A = this chain, B = another copy of it.
Amino acid sequence: MDTMRIVERQAQQSETRILLLVLDGLGDIPGDDGATPLSAARRPNLDRLAAEGCCGRFDPVGPGITPGSGPGHLGLFGSDPSEIEIGRGVLSAVGVDFPLQRGDVAARFNFCTLGASGAIADRRAGRPSTEENRRLVARLREIPPPKGCELFVETESEHRGVLVVRGVGLGARLADTDPQATGVAPLPVRALEVGSERTAGIVAGFVAAAHRVLAAEPRVNGLLLRGFDSLPTIPSLAERFRLRPVCIATYPMYRGLARLVGMEMPAAPPALVDYPAALAAQHTGHDLFFVHVKYTDKAGEDGDFTRKRAVVEEVDALLPALLAPGFDVVVVTADHSTPVGHKAHSWHPVPGLVWAPGRVFRDATREFSEQACLGGGLGRMPLRFLLAEALAAAGKLAKYGA
């Protein structure tokens, strides 16, 4: 049995507070000079936490597997990402902070260019601007929904958008209409099971109406849909671990992922410098504080060593202010690695530390870096167990068995 089931059973409320500080994409691999942005950064505050705490390395999904943001965060939140699938439509809806409800059916769409024959000439319609996307989405929002259901159309960016159908008894088992090729017509909207046939009818009606609305557009005159899905049934952190979690994050995607596990969601702080105040404002009434910093990942995706290092230094400088309200347990880690040399998410385990004086094994690690974490007392393990370590350190897990 996955021992997180035991963690769920033994979870108990307590007055202790856990700060879960996530530097998105933090993990890196050393370059020829042996340095990573983290190891090269000036980070006295992170080093203090590492020296007083216990370090390790964590696989978001499993060895060799490069996680998207969804699986990475499921791991952070104590789930086995190989057991929970979040469809692209749901992730897109979550990513634009759309308040998806249980039973809603969401799909990602591309604006595309259709030729005179109806065949796809460009699957991305020449990548319209996001502003152009908003103008077109506004027009699609005027399409009246069929009786008894609601339609939502949302801009993602450029050629990308989200369609959400809301109603009673919908099904999400619909085939993609995007043939992932040009020179052929979009595929018909098609249900993959009986329970999704009514939804297929609703979506087909919308697509036909959208094509009429867009008919006069010079370039953006079609829609391709894929990744139909409904909210997965992810039990909340309150249900699983009796936590009262709150999210401090600016990016819609991560706010959405946190919402999927039932986190409270105060307004996004405008910038990193506003995080300490936003965090302090939630101090009462919560016991898990998920703080998400996106900028490490962006620098990693851009292959920008200097900027990634600078973000680490910026977070390190903010740490005293972040910690000022007082936490019993502090976890610092990432949802996945984004090595600057790869310019993309990677499969490498993420570094992590747990600080909880007198509660964790104080290992010999004296600094917070990928290299130092290699010898850390937490070893290498699946990321979901890091939450178990934090809960235990916070006194939130009762003894198992007599």
Q: Does A176 contact B (CB under 8 A)?
A: no
Q: Which residue of B lies closest to A95 (CB)?
A: B402
Q: Does A388 contact B (CB under 8 A)?
A: yes
Q: Which residue of B lies closest to A90 (CB)?
A: B402
Interface centre among A6, A390, A397 (most CB of B within 10 A): A6
Task: Please determine whether A71 and B401 come into contact, CB atoms closer than 8 angstroms.
Answer: yes
Q: Does A269 contact B (CB under 8 A)?
A: no
Q: Does A29 contact B (CB under 8 A)?
A: yes
Q: Does A276 contact B (CB under 8 A)?
A: no
Which residues of B lie under 8 Å from residue A34 when comparing CB positions? 362
Residues of A28-67 at the interface with B, using a CB-CB cut-off of 8 Å, are 29-30, 34, 57, 61-67
Which residues of B lie under 8 Å from residue A88 when comparing CB positions? 402
Task: Please determine whether A3 and B61 come into contact, CB atoms closer than 8 angstroms.
Answer: yes
Task: Please determine whether A363 and B358 come into contact, CB atoms closer than 8 angstroms.
Answer: no
- How does the 8 Å CB contact mask read for A366-398 relative to B, with 1 for contact and 0 for none? 000011001101111100010111111000011
Q: Which residue of B lies closest to A92 (CB)?
A: B402
Binds B, one of A78-86, A210-218, A302-310: A78-86
Q: Which residue of B lies closest to A91 (CB)?
A: B402
CB contact between A80 and one of B1, B64, B81, B399 (< 8 Å): that residue:
B1
Residues of A1-17 at the interface with B, using a CB-CB cut-off of 8 Å, are 1-7, 10
Q: Does A159 contact B (CB under 8 A)?
A: no
Q: Does A347 contact B (CB under 8 A)?
A: yes
Q: How far is the CA of A333 from the CA of B344 in the complex (A)?
A: 29
Q: Which residue of B lies closest to A347 (CB)?
A: B392
Q: Does A68 contact B (CB under 8 A)?
A: yes
Task: Please determine whether A64 and B401 come into contact, CB atoms closer than 8 angstroms.
Answer: no
Task: Please determine whether B65 and A10 come into contact, CB atoms closer than 8 angstroms.
Answer: yes
Q: How far is the CA of A362 from the CA of B358 in the complex (A)?
A: 32
Chain B min CB distance to A156 (Å): 12
Q: How far is the CA of A69 from the CA of B399 in the complex (A)?
A: 10
Chain B min CB distance to A98 (Å): 15
Q: Does A327 contact B (CB under 8 A)?
A: no
Known A-B contacts A6-B82, A379-B380, A380-B379; the reply to A64 vs B392 at CB < 8 A is: yes
Q: How far is the CA of A75 from the CA of B128 in the complex (A)?
A: 49
CB contact between A7 and one of B29, B65, B358 (< 8 Å): that residue:
B65
Q: How far is the CA of A66 from the CA of B391 in the complex (A)?
A: 11
Q: How far is the CA of A80 from the CA of B378 in the complex (A)?
A: 21
Q: How far is the CA of A381 from the CA of B3 in the complex (A)?
A: 13
Q: How far is the CA of A80 from the CA of B10 in the complex (A)?
A: 17
Q: How far is the CA of A361 from the CA of B369 in the complex (A)?
A: 13
Task: Please determine whether B64 and A397 come into contact, CB atoms closer than 8 angstroms.
Answer: yes
Q: Which residue of B lies closest to A60 (CB)?
A: B400
Which residues of B lie under 8 Å from residue A375 when comparing CB positions? 374-375
- What would 17 more interface pairs be, CB under 8 Å, given A29-B360, A64-B388, A68-B402? A2-B82, A29-B361, A29-B362, A30-B362, A61-B400, A62-B388, A64-B392, A66-B392, A66-B399, A67-B401, A68-B399, A69-B402, A70-B401, A70-B402, A71-B400, A344-B399, A346-B392
CB<8 Å pairs between A and B, sample of 30:
A1-B80, A3-B65, A4-B62, A5-B82, A6-B61, A6-B82, A7-B65, A10-B66, A29-B361, A30-B361, A34-B362, A61-B400, A62-B388, A63-B388, A64-B385, A64-B390, A64-B392, A64-B397, A66-B397, A66-B400, A67-B399, A67-B400, A68-B400, A69-B401, A81-B400, A91-B402, A92-B402, A346-B392, A378-B380, A380-B381
Residues of A in contact with B (beta carbons under 8 Å apart): 1-7, 10, 29-30, 34, 57, 61-71, 80-83, 85-86, 88, 91-92, 341, 344-348, 358, 360-364, 370-371, 374-375, 377-381, 385, 387-392, 397-402
